[in-house]
Amino acid sequence: MNITMLAKKGGVGKTTLGLLLHEAFRNAGKSVAIRDWDAQGTSSKALKTFGGTAAEVDQVYDVLLYDTPPNLEHTATSYAVQQADIIVVLTSPSPADLWEADETARFASDKNPHAAIRLVFNRVRKGTRLARLIPKSAEDISAPALEPYISYRECYQAALGRGWQALDGPAREEVLQVTVALLSLGK
Order of all β-strands in the sheet with 32-36: 32-36, 63-67, 2-6, 86-91, 116-121
Q: What is the mean pLDDT of each run of 10 residues along the chain (187 residues)?
A: 93 90 90 89 83 79 94 94 96 86 94 95 87 80 86 87 86 92 82
> What domains does the chain contain, in order, with CATH numbers?
2-185 (3.40.50.300)
Report strand pairing: 116-121 vs 32-36: unpaired
Instruction: Please check whether residue 35 is in contact with residue 55, taking contact to mean a CB–CB distance below 8 angstroms.
Output: yes
- Looking at residue 124, its pLDDT comes to 87
Cα dist from 152 to 2, 83, 157, 164, 186, whole Å:
26, 30, 10, 16, 26
